[in-house]
Chains A and B, each alone.
Chain A
Amino acid sequence: MLDLLGDTKGVALITRSRELSHEELRRLASKITDPIPARSLVLLVATNTIEAVAGYVGFLEKGIVPLLVGAKTTPEQIAGLVDLYQPDYAWIPADMPGQQYDLYDYPGTEEKGLSYRLIHYNRLTANGLHPDLAALLTTSGSTGSPKLVRLSYGNIEANARSIIASLAITSRDRAITTLPFSYSYGLSILNSHLLAGASIILTEESLVNRGFWDLLRQKSATTFGGVPYHYTLLKQLHFERMDTDSLRYITQAGGRLGDELHGWFAQVCMDKGIDFVVMYGQTEATARMAYLPAEMSLTKIGSVGIAIPGGRFQIIDEQGNPVSAAHVEGELIYTGDNVSMGRAISRDDLRAGDLLAGKLETGDLACFDDEGYLYITGRKKRFLKLFGNRVSLDEVEQLLMRRGFTAACSGKDDGLVAYVESGGESTADLSTIDTIPPLLTSELGINSNAFSVILIERIPRNSAGKILYSRLDGTDGAQFDETDGETHEA
């Protein structure tokens, strides 16, 4: 169990019209969790609302395990998760469509005035949950085979404490939401600020809405986080000229920012008196593992910095031997108390203990400079970050295969390319390839600007039938280690 609120005083949650003290949040949380026994599994749709956050806080405090999903999760995907992981309850927005899936309203728990409701799944109790298991996160951009990351109470607390130390978060900070807390980076912002006794300003509006900026100013937000596309957006919005007086620091994670944007924000933030902190993380490490201290942001452009307190990085070569020299690339290994208990692909996996023992093979390729600052240089595993969402290329290929398209997927962050075979085994009508981007949008919840489709006669393969990705797009495919292009996500 983990009490994120501790004995802190002051304001915990702020919305346009309400403020909840830590004490009021605690009371609401215990009201929500009152009918739910400890060690139940609860599917939680994580919107940036008081009800969702109160549910989450209450679940952790009472030893109830939330399985966090985003508000864009389709009814079919929720039904799939429910089938696979057999939650005992669901805590979901009252107006969420598609609740007909074998659901049964638990009588008498619907809170008057709450925009959420508790649903009890009327079934026999499934297998138990491991006592250390605190929360479950999907690896973002679920492609219909939803793998979960298992986080322990120790993971969440260790990571939150490291982040508090890295960013010097105090009870005076006010973080405004830009990300859902079903996403590990969003969750990390929530956890670290609540544990520091700071406030969270909750909004479902995004950086492109006037409502977001009005709220940021009215409630004097001191910080927010963003993935790379948020920073592209901020630059487009002329962040350099905006009234952002209340901001103390902003963070970036969720993929490589690119040197140009990094340099631009390092300079602009310095001019504006805002600390700009580039970070690096993975859901498997609860969230963040590295940070580039703001005072180094201009001198170490392109670097994700150094390990957070309590963490350690190592780079290993292809034989698994540690690389100590600077500027030599290898796979990045991280050790720390925030390394998760491992993955889950079935309900039975939720009984398992810690399988990683504090050591994470990140699948990222990296090197150090001669002062020990870390640079991410590529990826061993075949996935892309699409507007902050991790999407496995192999899973997209399988998804297209189920629709009759034989495809090889490649590309770069924010730009997935599906090469559809015209002369081979595709069974779908090839005049319908225009339907692929909208199909991927509805399946993945990602803007179709991320997807392009190219028709090719034959997908290049070796004699064993393996796809030769390097031949698809030449040098563009260099995001991945050539020798290990076939590696599947663990």
Chain B
Amino acid sequence: MSHLTTYDKVFVDSLDLSSDQLGKELQYQSVPNWDSVGHMQLIAGIEEAFDIMLDTDDIIDFSSYEVGKEILSKYDIVI
């Protein structure tokens, strides 16, 4: 699986989204499930899927689908 496919799958699974909801518009609280509970599931999903441990700052800055990609690039995961 490409990193993008993995990344998208984590979003779809942890926030209960359909794939057409992914993209620039998707950010914290833009869909009902991306609340603090959803954020927790999302971060856990990302950490597991890419086998990384995100720093605190990266978890609290992970505020949108696009920003998440930038954050992962710091962990050498290019999406």
Contact = CB atoms under 8 A, between A and B. Distances in A.
Nearest to B62: A208
23 contacts: A206-B36, A208-B40, A208-B59, A209-B28, A210-B57, A210-B61, A212-B60, A213-B60, A229-B40, A233-B36, A233-B39, A236-B40, A236-B44, A238-B55, A238-B56, A241-B56, A242-B56, A442-B32, A446-B37, A447-B32, A447-B35, A449-B16, A449-B33
A237 B36 CA distance: 12
B46 to A, nearest CB: 11
Interface in B21-79: 28, 32-33, 35-41, 43-44, 55-57, 59-61, 63
A371 B33 CA distance: 44
B59 A437 contact: no
Contacts of A449: 14, 16, 33, 37-38, 41
Chain A interface extent, by class: 20 to 34
Contact of B33 (A213, A230, A241, A448): A448
Contact of A437 (B16, B37, B39, B57): B16
A237 B16 contact: no
B50 to A, nearest CB: 15
A486 to B, nearest CB: 30
Contacts, number: 61
A237 B35 CA distance: 16
Contacts of A237: 56, 59-60
A401 interface: no
Contacts of A213: 60
Interface of B: 14, 16, 28, 32-33, 35-41, 43-44, 55-57, 59-61, 63
Main secondary structure of the interface of A (DSSP, over half): helix
B40 A441 contact: no
Contacts of A387: 37
A127 interface: no
Contact of B37 (A209, A210, A229): A229
A207 interface: yes
Contacts of B59: 208, 236-237
Nearest to A442: B32
B48 to A, nearest CB: 12
A439 to B, nearest CB: 11
A122 interface: no
A243 to B, nearest CB: 9
A341 B8 CA distance: 51
A145 interface: no
Q: Which of B14, B16, B61 has the most chain A CB atoms closer than 10 A to its own CB?
A: B16
Interface in A440-468: 441-442, 446-450
